[in-house]
Amino acid sequence: MDYKGSLKYFTHKGLIALIGTIMFFAAIILTIPFLIAWGMWGIYSYLPFIVVGLIMMVFGRGGVMNDAEYDGQTERLKENIKYRVLQAFDMDDDKHVKTLEPIIFNEYEFKDDPAYLYKKGKDGKMRSNMYMFAVLLFGPEKMYVYTRHVNLTDENTEEVITKNIYSYTDLKKAEAVNEAIKGKIKEKEVTLEFLSFKVFSNNDETIMSIPVQNDALTDQRVDGINKLITKVKARKAAESNQDQ
């Protein structure tokens, strides 16, 4: 992973490239009258400025990732994910966790923390230097939650991996929640608004939270988990009544 390149994605100010762009186009505009008066000889009047501006434009952007290249830094996190998650829970296969289709999240994290860097890409998507990978597996009685948190700009920050198992009877609901935090983009404070996929325990403790896309798939996932929780709780209550 290119940690230095990822850091530059957030911190690069592009001042040299901006000055070069202004110099280049200004020189082009100023050259036009000379081209009209003297023909091709007129271009030599501002040729040094055109060349220098062009060099500044090119090298001022040198080594700076675009949005797609930065997103590509996360691809290695997705390799062999099924095997790694099953291994984390000491499972040989997934035959016992097929009550629902596995849910896989891979999203940039948002938090009101100075260690978090933010940038809004040219595609309109907000990105951070913190990335979260989460997998939910669903057995007949329990939900298995595997998460991995990675700092994409600092190789010295240790990855945080968690693995937890929850009985459905201990869960209250899943919900998509609108959230907003304060963050900084190149030293400018902004408000970041996003949707989080959350799962709550019976005592309203948040056991998982991850930013997600506001789309139909998120609604389907919330609905599927809530139906499963309700179904298992009803079955357990019926079994308890039969035993009395």
Tens of pLDDT, residue by residue over 211-224, are 888 889 999 999 99
In angstroms, the CA 147 to CA 84 distance is 11
Query: Does residue 212 lie within any of the structural domains?
Result: yes
Range of the domain at 38: 3-60
Digit-coded pLDDT (tens) for 111-169 = 888 889 999 888 888 999 999 988 999 999 999 999 989 999 988 888 888 999 999 99
Question: Dihedral (C-alpha) 171, 173, 175, 179: value to the nearest 10 degrees?
Answer: -60
36 and 96 together in one domain:
no
Q: Residue 125 belongs to a domain with what CATH number?
A: 2.30.29
CA distance 133 to 150: 8
The predicted-structure confidence for 61-106, as pLDDT tens digits, reads as follows 555 788 898 888 888 777 777 788 888 888 887 777 888 888 988 8
Out of 60, 84, 105, a domain closes at: 60
Cα dihedral sign for 172, 173, 178, 181? positive
Tell me if 86 is assigned to some domain: yes
Is the predicted pLDDT of residue 17 greater than 70, yes or no? no
15-38 helix and 47-60 helix, angle to the nearest 10 degrees: 150
User: Helices (DSSP H) in the chain: which residue ranges?
Assistant: 3-11, 15-38, 47-60, 67-72, 81-88, 216-243
In a domain, 128, yes or no: yes
Any domain includes 65: no
Residue 217: which residues within 8 A CB-CB, separation 6 or more? none
Q: Say yes or no: 174 and 216 in one domain.
A: yes
Is 70 a member of any domain?
A: no
**Domains in the chain: how many in total?**
2
